[in-house]
Structures are given as structure tokens and as C-alpha cells.
């Protein structure tokens, strides 16, 4: 009997699409009005938005669950409840992020001007001045750190995935794990100790900062590359071997290109991870108000250190120091954002098509 | 060129596990030889020893002799990479290189080895290999598109084109049609029959009709139980194996009365 067969597939009625958003709106409005009334009755002037959100959300969740359970049945009601919980958790995680971005932009905008990007802090005590020396320093030091870390990291990952067997591979993996957990200040001290051997105590040098950052960066690059190489299907390697391609050419021309998009993303993430490091640079690169283009000599300013010193050593004209600190933070955030965009473009451009 | 392959007392191991024991056979040139047998009896293992792909797996090794036109493939100063250039292989699952275009996939045997060739040479070679793999008409307008955009059957024929483009002497196919529909299967079977004009063709198949349709010789392998080595039970002309085999086991297997 066809009619019966069809009916066995039929579920309970669905709530119309508009019900859920309408209820959300209604409960938040209700919660808002309630708080306004409460606030006026207790003669508080300020309206607290947190209870508005909490009451609105809880009321909405309970009411929608009950309604859905009644109309749509248990499975769909649970589904709706879980959806609400997950979305709420996500929004909760998003709030500090948005608030952070907002604060940085708001405070950073004051000094985010042409002078900030064209001047150093040389001979400046009050207003004005800029962070060009810090931007150059950050770009040079992070750039050198990348140049050191990426080849080492990728080659180590290739060794681990394609060649490593037995004790040595396990040892390398172990040290990579340990290095991942090295505190950044320790990396700074390590670089300092290393340079003291060659240049004597009190050494300050941009290159030292790059070495310290490399110590932090290499394990991240290794891990990211390792994961990407592992997901290259073994069939592709075998296909190349079966064509009489030697192993090293297979790695260079088949495995690496297939994993390139993921590796590029991993490298960008590792750069973003170290570009904001302050502690090690404070130790080995030091800080200065002047421009220094040469990473192999003398102190070199970097953006995170610029932000830190502007904030920590506020001069007479306090506000202009604080403004510069925020503008530096904003610049740093924008650089990281640009890096992320570049990573996306790279992975889009290089990922296997088909 | 097409080569005669002789297997003498071949034992194939995975570390200490003997997977295939004491195989003696002669694979004829310009013919299709089919390997049949139940799952796990070592057909893939054995076919991979023919181009020294077996040793890619850590701990895997081979004992005995494997001669190709009299030359010892496992001799002391033989370079496995050179062996593989002369013995092409097609795998069960189509595996075109995802980062390469159709044309680059066909030429991958050259490009991955950094061989230089002129543009016209490359074009001629591409066309020849694709025509040889019965794929030319379907892809001639999109040679620069990625190979992974083709259908499964087309991808498999692309892999065959890739294998024959380097002009090997022997072509090995490990269940090349098991992931394909009947029409693509028929296309690849026809292709295998054409290929034997020029190459020694060895094909592993679970499909008894396929073996009887296309192969000249058939080798039946069997295994006494799990953990036991696979053995060559019977090797003869295909008509003989399917109509009047000498061994009871073979008869049971080809007539479907197995296990
Ligand atoms: N990489 C490996 N390491 C260890 N043992 C293996 C490996 N590959 C296969 N074997 C074992 O070798 C034996 C033969 O396997 P093989 O893959 O050659 O069988 P097959 O005849 O090709 O089976 P099928 O028809 O299912 O493909 C099996 O017992 C299998 O478990
Ligand atoms: Mg197999």
C-alpha cells in the first residue's frame, strides 16, 4: 500500500522558518525591557548588558526547545538546542576577539598617520615621531628568521617523513617536541649566550633576535610541514617510483608540490607566531630610538619592543607615548593580517586543482 | 622491445614473513600473462617484485633469481631505478599526479627525471601515448587541464598513457579495472590486447572472465591458510587453465567452487 509507505517517511510538522529568529528577537527585546524597568525601579542609571544577553539567550533556548519538542518532536528539538549551544559558545569566543580588534583600531587610529611610518624616535621626547625604525627592524629580523627557519624546518620534515627510520628519527621528533615548548625568553637567552661567545658580553644585534626567533619558529615549521607531507598519498610516490624516478626527485617534484599549499600556510602561521615576540628581542636585539638598517651591528628596534617601551617608559607627555604604543600594536596586527591573506592566496594558487 | 621474464626459485618476504614461496615460471614476451588467485595469495606482492617496487616497503626483500632476457634484475650492481624505467606499472587505483596537467602527466616519466625535449617532440610523444591508451579523442582539447578532472576510467587510461610514454619493455597492471565500470573496463581490456603487440604484459585480476578473455597465459596462485606463503599452483595456456586444468585446486577456483 503506497500511501502507507510514504506516510512512514513523513516526520512531524516543521516549525516555520521565521519562528526561531522571531523568538530570538522577542526574547532579547523582552529581556532588554525587563532590565530597563528594573534599572529605573532601582534608580540605577547604567544599564548592564550582560544580564540582558544571559536572560535573553536562556529564555530563547528554553522556549524554543519546549516549542520544538511539542511541535517537531524530540530529535529536532535536541538538534535545535545543540545548535543554540554551539552558536552561543562560538559567539562567546568571538566577543574578546572583536573587542580586542575594536580597541586596537580605536586607540591606534590616533597616531596611525604618515609621520608614524616615516619617522624614527630619534631626538623625540614629546609628540610626533614614528615607528619606522621598529617596522624596519621587525621586517628584517622576522625576514632573516624566516630565511633560516624555513629551509631547515622543511628539510627536517622531509627527513622525518621520507627518510627517517629508527632511533635518529625518534630522537629528532623528541627534540622537536621539546623545542615546541621552549619559552620565548629562554630562546632569547640562548641567542644572547651564543653571541656572547663570539662578540663578548653586552652584545646587541638584530641577527641575534633572528636566531632567537628561529629557535621558536623551526619546530612550528617542522610540525606543519610534517603533517602536510604525511597526507600526500603514498600512491603518488609509488607512481613516480614506478616511472623510474629516483627518490630525491620524487620528493622534490611530486611530494613537495602536492603539499606546497599546506606548507605555505604553515610557514605563514609560524611567522605570525613569532612576529609578535617581545621578550627574546628585548634581550638580544635591545631597543633604540634610532634607525638601524644593519642587522649585523648594534641595537635594533622591533614593533613589539616599540610597543612595550612606549608603554613602559612614558615620558612627560604621557598621552603621545600611549598613542604611539597603540599605533604600533595596530601596525603589528595589520602585518599579521596581511600575512594571513598572503597565505590564503598562496594556498589557493598552489593547491592541486581538479 | 618486449622482454622474456624468468622467475627462478623466487621467495618474497615482508621482513621475516614469507609472503610468496618458490615461484618458477617464464613470462613470455608479446603476450598477456594473467595472475589469478584468492585474496592475500601474493599476486600484488609478486608483480611488484618484477619491477623492484617491492623493496620500497621497509624490510621487504626477495630471494632467488629474476631474469629479464637473461639479465639478472636483482644482480649486485643493478640500479632499481633503471629497472623501473624499463618495466612500467599501472596500479589498482588510478593515481595521476594532481599538480600536473593531462599533458604533463603523460610526459611525467620524462619531466620528473629532468629529461629535456623540444616542444614538438613533447607534443608528438603526448599524442602517441594518448592514442596508444585510447584516450586521445577524449582529451585532445583539454591537454592543459588537470588530470584529476577526468573520470575514473579516463584517469586509469591516463596512467597507462603515462606508463607507455617512456616506452618500457614490460607493462605490469595490478587489478587495473577493479575500480571501473564495465565500459571503461572493456576499453582497458582492448587496450591491453593492443599493448601486447609491443610489450610483455602482466595483469593481476580477480575477474575470471577478464583473464580468459584477454590473456594468453594464466598463473593460478593459492594459499594454504592465513599466515602461510602463497604458491604458484599452476601455470599454463589460458584455455587449458579454464577448460582442463591439471590441478584440482585450480579447477575448484576457476569454476567458482572455492573455499
Ligand atoms: N606492506 C606489507 N607488509 C607486510 N605484509 C604484507 C604487506 N602487503 C601485503 N602483505 C601480506 O602479503 C600477503 C600477500 O598480499 P598481496 O597484497 O600480495 O595479496 P594479493 O594476492 O594481491 O591479494 P588481493 O587479491 O586482495 O589484492 C598477505 O598475507 C598480506 O597480508
Ligand atoms: Mg593485490
- Min Cα separation A89/chain B (Å): 38
Q: What per-residue confidence (pLDDT) applies to A7?
A: 64
CB contact under 8 A, B163 and A354: no
pLDDT at B258 over 80: no
pLDDT at A40 over 90: no
CB contact under 8 A, B95 and A238: yes
CA nearest ligand 1 atom 12, residue: B19
Who among B58, B82, B97 is closest to A244 (CB)? B82
Q: What per-residue confidence (pLDDT) applies to A44?
A: 65
- Min Cα separation B214/chain A (Å): 24
Grade residue B181 by pLDDT with cuts at 50, 70 and 90: confident
In terms of Cα–Cα distance, which of A173, A148, A352, A98 is closest to A270?
A148
User: Could you give the ipTM of this predicted complex?
Assistant: 0.91
Q: What per-residue confidence (pLDDT) applies to A125?
A: 82
CB contact under 8 A, A242 and B159: no
Grade residue A6 by pLDDT with cuts at 50, 70 and 90: low
With a 6 A CB cut-off, is B224 part of the ligand 1 pocket?
A: no
Concatenating the DSSP letter of every residue in A14-36 gives PPPTTHHHHHHHHHHHHHHHHHH
Chain A residues with beta carbon closer than 8 angstroms to that of B114:
249
Instruction: State how far the alpha carbon of B254 is from the alpha carbons of B33, B115, B203, in Å.
Output: 16, 46, 17
Among the residue ranges A86-90, A112-116, A290-294, A345-349, the one predicted with the least confidence is A345-349
Chain A residues with beta carbon closer than 8 angstroms to that of B89:
242
Rounded to 5 degrees, what are φ and ψ at A295? Answer: -75, -5
Give percent of chain A above pLDDT 90: 62
For cell 608614524, the residue is: A116
pLDDT at A43 over 70: no
With a 6 A CB cut-off, is B231 part of the ligand 1 pocket?
A: no
Give the bridge partners for B201, in sequence order: B32, B171
Q: What per-residue confidence (pLDDT) applies to B134?
A: 87
Instruction: Domain ranges for chain B, please list them.
Output: 5-95+171-254
- Min Cα separation A338/chain B (Å): 26
* Mean pLDDT, residues B192-219 taken together: 93
Q: What per-residue confidence (pLDDT) applies to B142?
A: 93
Residues from A in contact with B at Cβ < 8 Å: 165, 233, 235-236, 238-246, 249-250, 253-254, 257-258, 352-354
Closest chain A CA to residue B83: A244
Q: What per-residue confidence (pLDDT) applies to A350?
A: 77
Q: How many angstroms does the Cα of residue A237 sit away from the middle of ligand 2?
A: 18
* Mean pLDDT, residues B68-88 taken together: 92
For A203-227, b/e burial (b = at least 16 CB within 10 A) is bbbbbbbbbbbbbbbbbbbbbbbbe
With a 6 A CB cut-off, is B136 part of the ligand 1 pocket?
A: no
Cell numbers given for B84 = 623501473
Query: Is the separation of the CB atoms in B33 and B23 below 8 Å?
Result: no
For cell 606543519, the residue is: A224
Q: What per-residue confidence (pLDDT) applies to A45?
A: 65
Chain A residues with beta carbon closer than 8 angstroms to that of B149:
353-354
* Mean pLDDT, residues A14-31 taken together: 88
pLDDT at A10 over 90: no
Bigger pLDDT: A128 vs B102: B102
Among the residue ranges A223-232, A325-334, B177-186, the one predicted with the least confidence is B177-186
Q: What per-residue confidence (pLDDT) applies to B33?
A: 96
In terms of Cα–Cα distance, which of A267, A231, A265, A260 is closest to A350?
A260
CB contact under 8 A, A243 and B111: no
* Mean pLDDT, residues A307-315 taken together: 90
Q: What per-residue confidence (pLDDT) applies to A1?
A: 45
Query: Is the separation of the CB atoms in A284 and A209 below 8 Å?
Result: yes
Instruction: State how far the alpha carbon of B77 is from the alpha carbons of B7, B13, B74, B82, in Å.
Output: 19, 21, 8, 11
* Mean pLDDT, residues B208-227 taken together: 92
CB contact under 8 A, A354 and B81: no
Grade residue B24 by pLDDT with cuts at 50, 70 and 90: very high
Query: Is the separation of the CB atoms in B42 and B103 below 8 Å?
Result: no
Q: How many angstroms does the Cα of residue B239 sit away from the middle of ligand 1?
A: 28
Chain B residues with beta carbon closer than 8 angstroms to that of A254:
97, 99, 112
* Mean pLDDT, residues B226-235 taken together: 92
- Min Cα separation A340/chain B (Å): 23
Instruction: Domain ranges for chain A, please list them.
Output: 2-110, 116-350
| Rounded-to-integer distance, Cα A321 and Cα A244, Å | 65
In terms of Cα–Cα distance, which of B203, B151, B208 is closest to B176?
B203
Positive or negative: CA dihedral A28, A31, A36, A37 = positive
pLDDT in tens, B30-69: 999 999 999 999 999 999 999 999 999 989 999 999 999 9
* Mean pLDDT, residues A108-119 taken together: 91
CATH number for the region A116-350 comes to 1.10.3720.10
Q: Which CATH superfamily is domain B5-95+171-254 in?
A: P-loop containing nucleotide triphosphate hydrolases (3.40.50.300)
Amino acid at each position: 500500500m503506497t500511501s502507507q509507505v510514504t506516510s512512514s517517511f513523513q516526520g512531524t510538522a516543521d516549525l516555520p522558518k521565521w519562528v526561531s529568529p522571531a523568538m530570538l528577537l522577542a526574547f532579547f527585546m523582552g529581556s532588554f525591557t525587563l532590565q530597563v524597568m528594573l534599572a529605573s525601579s532601582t534608580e540605577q542609571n547604567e544599564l548592564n548588558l550582560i544580564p540582558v544577553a544571559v536572560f535573553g539567550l536562556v529564555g530563547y533556548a528554553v522556549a524554543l526547545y519546549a516549542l520544538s519538542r511539542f511541535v517537531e518532536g524530540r530529535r529536532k528539538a535536541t538538534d535545535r538546542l545543540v545548535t543554540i549551544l554551539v552558536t552561543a559558545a562560538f559567539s562567546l569566543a568571538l566577543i574578546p576577539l572583536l573587542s580586542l580588534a575594536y580597541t586596537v583600531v580605536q586607540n591606534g587610529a590616533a597616531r596611525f598617520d604618515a609621520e608614524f611610518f616615516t619617522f624614527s624616535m630619534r631626538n623625540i621626547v614629546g609628540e610626533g615621531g614614528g615607528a619606522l625604525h621598529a617596522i624596519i627592524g621587525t621586517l628584517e629580523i622576522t625576514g632573516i628568521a624566516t630565511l633560516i627557519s624555513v629551509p631547515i624546518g622543511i628539510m627536517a620534515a622531509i627527513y622525518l617523513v621520507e627518510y627517517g627510520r629508527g632511533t635518529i628519527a625518534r630522537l629528532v621528533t623528541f627534540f622537536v617536541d621539546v623545542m615546541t615548548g621552549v619559552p620565548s625568553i629562554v630562546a632569547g637567552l640562548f641567542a644572547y649566550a651564543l653571541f656572547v661567545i663570539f662578540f663578548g658580553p653586552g652584545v646587541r644585534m638584530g641577527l641575534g633576535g633572528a636566531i632567537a626567533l628561529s629557535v621558536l619558529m623551526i619546530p612550528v615549521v617542522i610540525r606543519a610541514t610534517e603533517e602536510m607531507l604525511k597526507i600526500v598519498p603514498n600512491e603518488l610516490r609509488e607512481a613516480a617510483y614506478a616511472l623510474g624516478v629516483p627518490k630525491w626527485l620524487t620528493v622534490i617534484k611530486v611530494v613537495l608540490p602536492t603539499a606546497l599549499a599546506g606548507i605555505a600556510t604553515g610557514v605563514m602561521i609560524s611567522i605570525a607566531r613569532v612576529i609578535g615576540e617581545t621578550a627574546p628581542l628585548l634581550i638580544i636585539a635591545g631597543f633604540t630610538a634610532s634607525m638601524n638598517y644593519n642587522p649585523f651591528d648594534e641595537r635594533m628596534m622591533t614593533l613589539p619592543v616599540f610597543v612595550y617601551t612606549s608603554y613602559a617608559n612614558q615620558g612627560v607627555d604621557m598621552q603621545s607615548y600611549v598613542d604611539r604604543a597603540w599605533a604600533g600594536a595596530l601596525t603589528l596586527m595589520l602585518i599579521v593580517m596581511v600575512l594571513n591573506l598572503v597565505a590564503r592566496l598562496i594556498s589557493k594558487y598552489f593547491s592541486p586543482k581538479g | 622491445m618486449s622482454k622474456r621474464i624468468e622467475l627462478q626459485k623466487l621467495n618474497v618476504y615482508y621482513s621475516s614473513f614469507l609472503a610468496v614461496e618458490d615461484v618458477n615460471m617464464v613470462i613470455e614476451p608479446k603476450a598477456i600473462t594473467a595472475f589469478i588467485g584468492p585474496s592475500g595469495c601474493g599476486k600484488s606482492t609478486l608483480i611488484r617484485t618484477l619491477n623492484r617496487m617491492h623493496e620500497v616497503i621497509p624490510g621487504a626483500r626477495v630471494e632467488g633469481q629474476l631474469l629479464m632476457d637473461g639479465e639478472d634484475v636483482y644482480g649486485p650492481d643493478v640500479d632499481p631505478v633503471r629497472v623501473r624505467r624499463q618495466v612500467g606499472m599501472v596500479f589498482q587505483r588510478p593515481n595521476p599526479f594532481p599538480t600536473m596537467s593531462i599533458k604533463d602527466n603523460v610526459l611525467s616519466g620524462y619531466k620528473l627525471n629532468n629529461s629535456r625535449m623540444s616542444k614538438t617532440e613533447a607534443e608528438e610523444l603526448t599524442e602517441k601515448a594518448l592514442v596508444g591508451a585510447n584516450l586521445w579523442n577524449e582529451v585532445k582539447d583539454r591537454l592543459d587541464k588537470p588530470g584529476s578532472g577526468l573520470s575514473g576510467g579516463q584517469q586509469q587510461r591516463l596512467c597507462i598513457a603515462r606508463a607507455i610514454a617512456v616506452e618500457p619493455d614490460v607493462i605490469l597492471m595490478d587489478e587495473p579495472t577493479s575500480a571501473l565500470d564495465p565500459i571503461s573496463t572493456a576499453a582497458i581490456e582492448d587496450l591491453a590486447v593492443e599493448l601486447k603487440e609491443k610489450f610483455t604484459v602482466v595483469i593481476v585480476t580477480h575477474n575470471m572472465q577478464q583473464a580468459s578473455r584477454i590473456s594468453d597465459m594464466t598463473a593460478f596462485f593459492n594459499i594454504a591458510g592465513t599466515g602461510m606463503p602463497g604458491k604458484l599452483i599452476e601455470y599454463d595456456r589460458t584455455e587449458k587453465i579454464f577448460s582442463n586444468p591439471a590441478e584440482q585446486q585450480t579447477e575448484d577456483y576457476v569454476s567458482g567452487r572455492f573455499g
